[in-house]
């Protein structure tokens, strides 16, 4: 196998890992504050991609053809809309079920994911078919010997890393982040310290969903295609990444994202005769990892008190 | 069992007769208006009955005279099948409902009794279906054997999953099943030996020199070949029902309840938590696998799109709608969830969306399901409540 092809795989794997990490960060945030798994997260990312697509269509119709403005508009509208959607989901579906068994929350968000998927399929104009996502990033590429780096990939990589770094700084360096961490650690103590619990929960869900929407738009820009079913796979992969890293730990989510993407890429490289099986391989690996390390590679810290 | 015997039976029998009448009309009506009117009428009857306290009286007679009620239900379904003996579509629908009931009974044992969520119900159903298809297509085994083989295959593959399931808890083990459900469908789609995304056809099934996929002719009477499958599905569902009911009443069911409610406490009282989880999980998967095998033989083809994660979610929704752990509720829910989209074409396209919204509303406003599981009774006849 030549260096060029290998570097292609590497670039592809890193890009996938970044997307998974972005989705996994959302799962980790939600699990941190409310101990819930919001399985509709991948579908929220998908709706984010469609919102971006619709924004692009709207800007085209309005006569705005500057790619930079279009790009900014797509990202801003998508992230903002999904942040609002995420907060609404938390307010009306997840918080009311706090007293119920944890599986009810899992089930309601699974169903919400189905509802979002089906709504896009049925109600988005021609939503049942894949949509060509516009190429808004510069098309040039840099050559290093056999290694070709596409400019759009480089920009996406940089942007994705910047978003992760920003989330990291927000969580660890700001007062809001301190409040989120406090709520995640102990709800009652956080409340007694004067933290507005409900507000922090909503903000956390908005933050996670916004980051998820960014991952959705990134996915669209990278593959130049979006479809209504992409959220399920993105969500399960991101969730697998979060689980593998250990839920409730933001570094674990990032590690898990790259690990999961690495597994998929290795699956594709090691078995070129069976590249179609790369998802089978990846999900098999997830089941195996969960069997060996039941609460992920970086386990949750607290133990159950009886 | 004294003088009030027939009286206590009456509400339950009336419910069965009305239910079967409703099914018969639902399957007969063609125009969308009449189906809609029938549904509205049915909903009105149920509403008035519940207001008049008749529903709880029917529930009591189901509760106190269950063997009679079960027998009456089977009899009523047989009458229904005899009525439709010459029509393909109603029999196919009824058989599908019965097979779904069987799979959901399996899920009920896993989810409702032992508390193990399985989001891969359709995958185990599909596993049985594909096993049957492969056996009929590639081997010379007697075709009848493909039924138990389907159950066996699902049970064995399920026992591979049981290792991660036992080591994980709550959401984590739910995710193992979700990963398996997606893995299964992806695998089927890319595997060319199993027909890829197109699936495979099953032809020329022979049972003891007789071909069940040809219509039956007795003199001038021409019966649909689905009648045989209906009877087989009814037998399977009845056996599954009796087993699940006995299991629930027995000390095994009691152990499973304890495991579901509090694993730590159950272990403290000396219950082997792992054993009951393994029993519940395997039993549920075997039921789903056998139902799947019969389904494959009945419809004559298998394809990955019939066994998606969405279908697994529908199975879980049926269990939830029926009231988690309530085996009678599962039947009502399965009949409604399978038949309505087939008869009401207006909602066919929207069925996944409708189910999703319905389940969300139920989780928000009535989390115990439409027909909650009644409290365990230790003695027949209402004592010990």
A300 occurs within a structural domain:
no
B350 occurs within a structural domain:
no
| CA dist., res. B240 & res. B101, Å (int) | 9
Q: Do B170 and A102 touch (CB under 8 A)?
A: yes
| CA dist., res. A48 & res. B378, Å (int) | 54
Confidence of residue A145 (pLDDT cuts 50, 70, 90): low
Residue that is written with structure tokens 């049915």 in the block: B42
Asked if residue A273 has pLDDT above 70, the reply is: no
Residue B378: CB atoms within 10 A of its CB come to 9
Domain count, chain B: 1
C-alpha A298: how far from chain center: 19
Residue B315: CB atoms within 10 A of its CB come to 25
User: Residue A136 is encoded by which pair of tokens?
Assistant: 């808004």
Q: Do B167 and A286 touch (CB under 8 A)?
A: no
Confidence of residue B1 (pLDDT cuts 50, 70, 90): very low
Confidence of residue B213 (pLDDT cuts 50, 70, 90): low
A131 occurs within a structural domain:
no
Q: Picking from A40-49, A74-83, B108-117, which range would have the lowest pLDDT averaged per residue?
A: B108-117
Asked if residue B383 has pLDDT above 60, the reply is: no
| CA dist., res. A28 & res. A250, Å (int) | 6
Per-residue pLDDT tens for A13-55?
888 899 999 999 998 888 888 888 888 999 999 999 999 999 9
**Percentage of residues of chain B with pLDDT beyond 70:** 90
DSSP conformation class of B374: P
B122 occurs within a structural domain:
yes
> Quick one: CA dihedral A88, A91, A92, A97, positive or negative?
positive
Q: Do B353 and A108 touch (CB under 8 A)?
A: no
What residues form DSSP beta bridges with A226? Answer: A131
Q: What is the pTM of this model?
A: 0.85
B48 occurs within a structural domain:
no
**Helices B121-138 and B309-321 sit at what angle, rounded to 10 degrees?**
120
B157 occurs within a structural domain:
yes
Give residues 329 to 368 of B whose Cβ lies within 8 Å of A.
Answer: 349-350, 352-353, 355-357, 359-360, 363-364, 367
Task: Give the structural domain span for B243.
Answer: 87-344
Task: Give the structural domain span for A200.
Answer: 3-123+137-292
Average pLDDT estimate for A146-172: 86
**Which among B360, B334, B362, B353 is positioned nearest to B93, based on CA atoms?**
B334
Confidence of residue B207 (pLDDT cuts 50, 70, 90): low
In chain B, what residues touch A122 (CB-CB under 8 Å)? 349-350, 353
B372 occurs within a structural domain:
no
Better-predicted residue by pLDDT, B19 or B384 = B19
CATH number of the domain bearing residue B93: 1.10.3470
B241 occurs within a structural domain:
yes
State chain B's mean pLDDT as an integer.
Answer: 83
DSSP conformation class of B168: -
In chain A, what residues touch B170 (CB-CB under 8 Å)? 102-103
- B111 touches B117 (CB < 8 A): yes
CATH number of the domain bearing residue A88: 1.10.3470
Give residues 152 to 211 of A whose Cβ lies within 8 Å of B.
Answer: none
B72 occurs within a structural domain:
no
- CA of A30, closest CA in chain B: separation in Å? 14
ipTM score over 0.95, yes or no:
no
A299 occurs within a structural domain:
no
A132 occurs within a structural domain:
no
Domain count, chain A: 1
A298 occurs within a structural domain:
no
A306 occurs within a structural domain:
no
Average pLDDT estimate for B205-222: 66
User: Residue B186 is encoded by which pair of tokens?
Assistant: 């992806």
**The pLDDT value given to residue B384:** 39
**Helices A175-185 and A197-223 sit at what angle, rounded to 10 degrees?**
110
């Amino acid at each position: 196998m030549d260096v060029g092809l290998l570097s292609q795989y590497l670039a592809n794997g890193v890009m996938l890992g970044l997307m998974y990490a972005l989705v996994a960060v959302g799962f980790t945030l939600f699990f941190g504050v409310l101990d819930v798994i919001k399985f509709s997260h991948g579908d929220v990312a998908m709706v984010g991609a469609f919102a971006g697509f619709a924004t692009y269509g709207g800007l085209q119709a309005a006569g705005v053809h500057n790619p930079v403005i279009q790009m900014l508009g797509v990202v801003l509208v998508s992230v903002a809309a999904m942040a609002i959607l995420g907060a609404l989901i938390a307010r009306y579906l997840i918080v009311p079920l706090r007293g119920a068994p944890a599986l009810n929350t899992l089930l309601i968000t699974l169903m919400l994911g189905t509802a979002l998927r089906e709504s896009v399929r049925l109600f988005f104009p021609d939503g049942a078919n894949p949509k060509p996502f516009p190429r808004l990033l510069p098309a040039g590429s840099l050559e290093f010997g056999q290694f070709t780096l596409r400019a759009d990939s480089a920009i996406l990589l940089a942007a994705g890393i910047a978003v992760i770094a920003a989330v990291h700084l927000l969580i660890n360096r700001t007062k809001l982040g301190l409040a989120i961490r406090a709520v995640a650690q102990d709800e009652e103590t956080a409340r007694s310290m004067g933290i507005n619990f409900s507000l922090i929960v909503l903000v956390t869900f908005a933050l996670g969903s916004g980051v998820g929407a960014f991952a959705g738009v990134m996915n669209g820009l990278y593959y130049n295609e979006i479809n209504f079913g992409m959220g399920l796979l993105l969500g399960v992969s991101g969730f697998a990444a979060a689980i593998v890293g250990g839920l409730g730990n933001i570094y674990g989510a990032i590690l898990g994202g790259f690990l999961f993407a690495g597994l998929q890429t290795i699956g594709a490289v090691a078995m070129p005769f069976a590249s179609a099986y790369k998802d089978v391989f990846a999900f098999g690996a997830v089941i195996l990892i969960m069997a060996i390390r039941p609460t992920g590679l970086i386990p949750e810290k607290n133990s159950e008190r009886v | 069992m004294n003088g009030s015997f027939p009286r206590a039976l009456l509400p339950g029998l009336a419910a069965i007769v009305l239910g079967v009448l409703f099914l018969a009309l639902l399957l007969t009506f063609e125009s969308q208006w009449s189906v809609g009117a029938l549904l509205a009428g049915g909903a009105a009857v149920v509403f008035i009955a519940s207001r008049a306290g008749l529903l709880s009286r029917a529930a009591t007679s189901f509760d106190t005279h269950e063997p009679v009620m079960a027998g009456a239900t089977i009899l009523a379904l047989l009458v229904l099948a005899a009525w439709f003996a010459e029509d393909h579509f109603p029999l196919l629908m009824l058989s599908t409902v019965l097979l779904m009931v069987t799979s959901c009974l399996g899920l009920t044992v896993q989810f409702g009794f032992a508390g193990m969520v399985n989001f891969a119900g359709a995958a185990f159903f599909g596993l049985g279906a594909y096993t049957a298809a492969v056996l009929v297509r590639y081997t010379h085994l007697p075709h009848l054997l493909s039924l138990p083989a389907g159950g066996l295959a699902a049970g064995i593959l399920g026992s591979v999953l049981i290792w991660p399931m036992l080591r994980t808890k709550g959401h984590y083990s739910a995710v193992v099943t979700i990963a398996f459900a997606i893995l299964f469908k992806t695998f089927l789609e890319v595997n060319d030996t199993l027909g890829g995304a197109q699936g495979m056809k099953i032809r020329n099934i022979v049972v003891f020199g007789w071909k069940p996929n040809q219509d039956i002719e007795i003199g001038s009477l021409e019966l649909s070949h689905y009648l045989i499958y209906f009877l087989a599905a009814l037998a399977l569902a009845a056996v599954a029902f009796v087993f699940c009911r006995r299991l629930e009443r027995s000390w095994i069911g009691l152990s499973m309840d304890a495991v579901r409610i509090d694993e730590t406490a159950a272990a403290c009282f000396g219950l082997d938590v792992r054993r009951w989880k393994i029993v519940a999980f395997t039993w549920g998967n075997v039921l789903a696998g056998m139902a799947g095998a019969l389904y494959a033989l009945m419809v004559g083809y298998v394809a990955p799109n019939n066994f998606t994660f969405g279908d697994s979610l529908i199975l879980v929704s049926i269990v939830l709608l029926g009231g988690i752990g309530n085996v009678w509720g599962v039947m009502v829910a399965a009949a409604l969830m399978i038949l309505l989209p087939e008869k009401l074409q207006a909602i066919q396209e929207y069925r996944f969306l409708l189910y999703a919204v319905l389940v969300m509303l139920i989780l928000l406003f009535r989390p115990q399901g439409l027909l909650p599981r009644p409290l365990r009774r230790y003695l027949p006849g209402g004592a010990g409540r």
